[in-house]
Chain A
Amino acid sequence: MGGLMTLADLQQIKERELAAQKKIVLRCCLAAGCCSSDAHGVKERLEKAVAEAGLHHDVEVRGVGCLKLCCAGPLVQADPAGTLYTHVTPESAPSIIAALRGDQTALTQTDPNAAFFALQHSIVLAHSGRIDPERIEAYIAVDGYAALLNALTELDPKSVLETVVRSGLRGRGGAGFPTGLKWGTVAKSPGAKKYVICNADEGDPGAFMDRSVLESDPHAVLEGMAIAAYAVGADQGFIYVRAEYPLAIARLQTAIKQAKRLGLLGSGIFESPFHFNLDLRIGAGAFVCGEETALMASVEGQRGTPRPRPPFPAASGLWGCPTLINNVETFANIPPILRHGADWFAGIGTLRSKGTKVFALAGKIKNTGLIEVPMGTPLRTIVEEMGGGAPDGGRIKAVQTGGPSGGCIPAHHLDTPVDYESLTTLGSIMGSGGMIVMDDSTRMVDVARFFMEFCMDESCGKCIPCRAGTVQMHHLLEKILARRATARDLAKLEELCDLVQHTSLCGLGQTAPNPVVSTLRFFRAEYDELLQPDPHGPRPAAASAPGATVS
C-alpha cells in the first residue's frame, strides 16, 4: 500500500479489525514487569488451553501492554466481564479457561473497579493493556493515525500548532515547559532542515512511565511525533531510547516498520506532500544523556555531555538545525488532543497544569504500579486511596517526586495537589513521574545520600561544581550518617548545595542538591540527631577553620 493510504483505507482496516473481534478476550500483560515473571509462559499456556478446549472461535488470547497494577503481576484481564486475575503462573493459567465456563478457580482476582483503577483518568494510557502493541491494525482500530490524517488533509501546520498551544499541554520530561510555545519557536526558527526528537532516555531510578508507554502503545508516540514534525516543518525524527529497554526498542522497531509499510511514515504520507522519516538511536545508559543538549551530542555521535544554553535546541539543535525535543509522554498526548480538541484537554486538570500525568508509584505502599491521574489530584488521593497506604500497618512519612532532581514531601503536606507549581513551592518538582512513598522506617538522610550517590555517579564530569561538588556532598552525607560529622560539616553541606545549584552547567548539577535541601527543610531534626559536638567549639560558619593549607 506504501504511500497511498487514504481515509478509506484507514476506515477499512478499522472495520476489518472490529469485525474480527471475538466474544471473549483474555488480555495478558506483556510489558517488561510482568514479562520478568514469565508472562510469556502464561500467554502460551492460555493459548494452548483455549485450543484444547476448542474455544478458539470465541476466545482471543491477546498480548497487551501494561495492565498497571504491576505489584500483582503477571496479570490477565478477561473481557467482556473485566475480571482481573493476579499473580497468574503458566501452571495456573488454564484455570482461567475453566472459569470462563463457570468453574470455580483458585486464582486470585482483584476488583477492576477498585480505587486504584477507578480514580485513573486514561489519556496517555488509554490503549495500554487493551490493544496489542505489536499490531498497527489494533492501533488503527482505536482511531489511531486518524489525527495525523486529519492534520495533514484538513489543517495547516499553523492550526495544528494553535491547537497544541490552546490545549495548555506542558512538557512531561520534567521542567513543564509549555509544549505549544516550544513548537512555535521551532516552527519560527529559520532553516530548511529541522528535526524532531523524542526523549526516551528515562533514567530516574524507579521511573518506568515512558517505558510503559513505549511498550504498550508505541504507535501513539510515532503519531504524535509525525504531527509535531508537520507542525514545525521537520522531515526527520529520532527516538532516543536507552539500551536498558530492549522490549521498548523491539516494539518501536516493529511499530516503525509497520508504519512505513502502510505509508504512515516516509514520503507522501496520506497522499500529502509531507515527508517524515523516523529512526531509533540507542543510548548507552548515561543519565545525563537525557539532558537535551547531551542527548543531541550523543545522536550526533559525540560524547554525551551538556553544553551551555543558549543557543536552545529550538534555535540550534542537531547539527546546528532547529530541533524540537519532547518527552515520550508529551508526544503521546498529541493524538488525543487533536482527536478530541484543545478545549477537551484544557478542561482536564488545573488552571496552569492541564491534562493528566502518569506516575510510577513505588516504595512503601500496598499497590505499586502505573497510574494516570488528572493534574491537581491531591497526593493523599494517590497514596492513600489508590495506593492503599503503607503496608503492614506502617505510617506514611513522605512522598518523593522528581527522582534525583526532586524532593521529599512530608506527610503533613499530603493534601497538596499534584501540579507543576504546587510541587515546586514545596521544594520538589513534578519531574518525569517517579513517585516513591516512604514510611516510618525510612531515614531521610539515607534518602538524601542515595540520590546524591546517584548524581555523583552520573555527573558527566564536565563542570567543576557538579563533578567535585557531588563527591564532597556525598562524602559529607556519609560522614553525617556515620555520626562523625559536626555542625560545621552540615554548614559545609548547605554551602555546597547552594554552590552546586547555582553554578552547575546543566540541570543535573543544578538539581542534584534538591533531595538534600528538601530533606533539610522538612526533616532537619534527623540530621541534627546524627551530629557530634564540635571539638573546636562553636564558631561562626564564615570564620576560617583550621584546614590543610594549599600545598
Chain B
Amino acid sequence: MAAKTLTIDGKQLSAEEGATVLQAAAEAGVKIPTLCHLEGLHDIGACRLCLVEVAGGPKLLPACTTLITEGMEVTTASERLKNYRRLTLELLFAERNHVCAVCVANGHCELQTLAGQQGLDHVRYDYCFPPWEVDATHRLFGMDHDRCILCQRCVRVCWDIEGAGTKHVSGRGGKAKIISDLDDDWGDSETCTACGKCVQACPTGALYHRGSTVGEMVRDRSKLEFLVNAREKKLWSV
C-alpha cells in the first residue's frame, strides 16, 4: 500500500494508506487520549476524547475513525481540545455514581487515569445520582451500571471477538444501558459463554470478576490482543 505523509503536532511523518490518525500518531509516538477505542475492536467514535483539529476543516474529527490523507496537518493537543476533553470527562463523572474510593477498579481505571492526565481535579456540574443497580447474577462476573460509561467495548468484544452476541445497548440518552440478551439477568443468559472478554475489555469498574474487592480489578488486555492477533494471522492449531 502506498504511504502518505502528514504532520501531527508539527512532526512530519509517513504512514500507510488506510491508517487512522490514531494509528499514525501512535507510530510517531504522539499519544491521543481515547476511551471507547480498544485495539482489536472496530471503532465507533463514541467517546469523542480523541477529537483532533485538522487544518483546512472547521470540524473536529475523531482520530480513531478518521483516515489519514496526504498532506494532512493534525493538531492533537491545542488548548481548545484539552479543555473539551476535560469537560467531557467532567460530564462523565457527574453522569453516574463514580465513587472511586470504593470501586473495584480504583487505581486501574482508564477513566480515573485519564482524568488525572487531563488535569481534571474537581467536578463543577451537579451530580445526577441516578438510581442504577448492580447485576450480580452471573456466577463469575458482575456488572455495576453506576460505573458504566457506555463505551460499548463490552458489546463489541462480545459480538466481534467472542461471537456470542450477549451484550447490547438498550434505551437511549441518559437512560441508555448495557444489557444481556433481552435485558435478562446476566446469570440467566443462554448466549453468554462466560468467556470473560467483556470484563477484560471494560475500561472502568463496571464489569468485574466476582469476589474482587476495592482496587483489585486488574485487567489482562494481553489476552484480548493475543486473540485478535491470533485470529488475524490465523495462528490457530487445528
Contact = CB atoms under 8 A, between A and B. Distances in A.
Interface of A: 286, 288, 303, 305, 307-308, 456-465, 467-472, 475, 492, 495-496, 499, 502-505, 544-545, 547-551
Nearest to A495: B87
Most B-side CB within 10 Å, residue of A458, A460, A463: A463
A472 B124 CA distance: 11
25 contacts: A305-B169, A308-B45, A456-B174, A459-B173, A460-B173, A461-B171, A461-B174, A461-B176, A462-B46, A463-B46, A464-B47, A464-B88, A465-B88, A467-B176, A472-B91, A475-B125, A492-B124, A502-B60, A503-B48, A503-B84, A505-B48, A545-B124, A547-B122, A550-B112, A551-B100
Given A471-B128, A472-B91, A460 B122 contact: no
A465 B48 contact: yes
Given A308-B65, A463-B45, A550-B121, 8 more contacts: A303-B169, A456-B173, A459-B173, A459-B174, A460-B173, A462-B44, A467-B174, A550-B93
B234 interface: no
B123 interface: yes
Interface in B121-171: 121-128, 149-150, 152, 168-169, 171
Contacts of B73: none
Given A308-B65, A462-B46, A550-B123, A468 B95 contact: yes
B206 interface: no
Contacts of B46: 462-464, 505
Interface of B: 44-48, 51, 60, 62, 65-66, 84, 87-88, 91-95, 98-101, 112, 115, 120-128, 149-150, 152, 168-169, 171-176
A457 B172 CA distance: 8
Nearest to A499: B87
A164 B101 CA distance: 62
A458 B91 contact: no
Contacts of B87: 495-496, 499
Contact of B172 (A459, A463, A504, A545): A459
A251 to B, nearest CB: 29
Contacts of A458: 172-173
A468 B121 contact: no
B115 to A, nearest CB: 6
Most A-side CB within 10 Å, residue of B44, B112, B115, B125: B125
Contact of A469 (B66, B91, B150, B171): B91
A459 B150 CA distance: 13
B174 A475 contact: no
Nearest to A287: B172
Contacts, number: 120
Contact of A548 (B44, B62, B127, B173): B127
Nearest to B43: A308
A505 B173 contact: no
Nearest to B174: A471
Contacts of B101: 551
A308 B62 contact: yes
Contacts of B66: 308
A502 B51 CA distance: 10
A242 to B, nearest CB: 15
Nearest to A548: B123
A464 B169 contact: no
Most A-side CB within 10 Å, residue of B51, B168, B174: B174
B48 A550 contact: no
Contacts of A551: 98-101
A464 B100 contact: no
A472 B51 contact: no
Contact of A464 (B112, B149, B172): B149
Contacts of A461: 150, 169, 171-176
Nearest to B130: A471
Contacts of A460: 172-173, 176
A503 B44 CA distance: 14
Most B-side CB within 10 Å, residue of A303, A308, A467, A550: A550
A95 to B, nearest CB: 51
Contact of B174 (A303, A308, A468, A545): A468
B173 A467 contact: yes
A499 B125 CA distance: 14
Contact of A288 (B92, B128, B171, B172): B172
Contacts of B121: 544, 549-550
A470 B100 CA distance: 25
Contacts of B65: 308
Nearest to B173: A459
A31 B87 CA distance: 47
Given A458-B173, A505-B48, A549 B122 contact: yes
The 9 A-B residue pairs whose C-beta atoms are closest, nearest first, are: A461-B176, A468-B91, A308-B45, A459-B173, A547-B124, A547-B122, A468-B95, A308-B65, A503-B48
Contacts of A505: 45-46, 48
A243 B183 CA distance: 24
A307 B123 contact: no
A475 B172 CA distance: 18
A303 B101 CA distance: 35
A420 B188 CA distance: 54
B39 to A, nearest CB: 19
A214 B121 CA distance: 54
A483 B93 CA distance: 26
Most B-side CB within 10 Å, residue of A462, A495, A504, A547: A462
A240 B84 CA distance: 35
Contacts of B91: 464-465, 468-469, 472
B160 to A, nearest CB: 14
A56 to B, nearest CB: 53
Contacts of B150: 461-462, 464, 467
B94 A503 contact: no
B115 A502 contact: no
Contacts of A550: 93, 98, 100, 112, 115, 120-123
Nearest to A303: B169
A544 B119 CA distance: 12
Contacts of B169: 303, 305, 461
A548 B125 CA distance: 9
A495 B98 CA distance: 23
A53 to B, nearest CB: 56
